[in-house]
Amino acid sequence: MYAEERRRQIAAQTAVEGRVNVTKLSRKFDVTAETIRRDLAVLDREGIVHRVHGGAVATQSFQTTELSLDARLRSAPNAKSAIARAALNFLPETPGRGLFLDAGTTVTALADLIADTPQANQWSIVTNSLPIALTMANKGLSEIQLLGGSVRAITQAVVGDTALRTLALMRADVAFIGTNALTLDHGLSTADAQEAAIKSAMVTNARRVVVLCDSSKIGNDYLVSFAAIENIDVVITDSNAPESYVQSLRDRDIEVVLGS
């Protein structure tokens, strides 16, 4: 396991459990205690954890910084691909069903796969993502509706009152939702209130909510919560997700799928 991957798991575990111990982490990752101390020192400098005697504790600050769309597309590409492949199993089998696809980059990876399936035109797809709408239109899909409204340059997502009024009139069988962060207390969260409002409307108006969330986002908190944990049905993540967190979600009757 690479150091970056190990540190991501340590950060997620710290956020979930509140505190981690050097000795236990050393056994879990089969590395020396000194290696774990170096990992914690790096995470402490980045403001992700606070070092304490014998381990580290979670920070309580909410993130507000957004990465550009290109930067997010480059982040954890293998995990996103695995999650997107697993998400195909949650597409409705019955033709004519409606789908919400929000503007998350992992949802964008799913949209690419949907567009290449023979059944792609059997679903009515609603999205607030310019890249998703363009990808699907360029591949000849006809049942695509792009919500109207203002476009956020940093994410190329459509937001605003026009989009919200349209969503209020719609219902979907499945909403595929991306998130910047996921915790048990704060639920799903993101940095921008307008994007949060769109995501929240999709969650509210879908019969089933499937969250696509790579493990680097688990245990993090962004400023605006748009859905509580009890509002979601399925979380699809990658194999690096902390086992304790996966079990906590399952204990709340949420289906957790590990993409591979």
Average pLDDT for runs of 10 along the chain of length 260: 80 77 93 94 82 80 58 72 96 91 94 91 94 92 92 92 95 96 87 92 97 90 86 95 90 93
Which CATH number does the domain housing residue 168 bear? 3.40.50.1360
The pLDDT of residue 74 = 62
Same domain, 81 and 136: yes
The pLDDT of residue 83 = 96
Same domain, 141 and 240: yes
Residue 63: inside a domain: no
Query: Residue 136 and residue 151: Cα distance in Å, rounded?
Result: 18
Task: Domain of residue 47: give its range.
Answer: 3-58
Residue 53: inside a domain: yes
The pLDDT of residue 222 = 83
Same domain, 33 and 101: no
Tokens linked to 70? 């290109």
The pLDDT of residue 136 = 92
The pLDDT of residue 183 = 86
Same domain, 125 and 246: yes
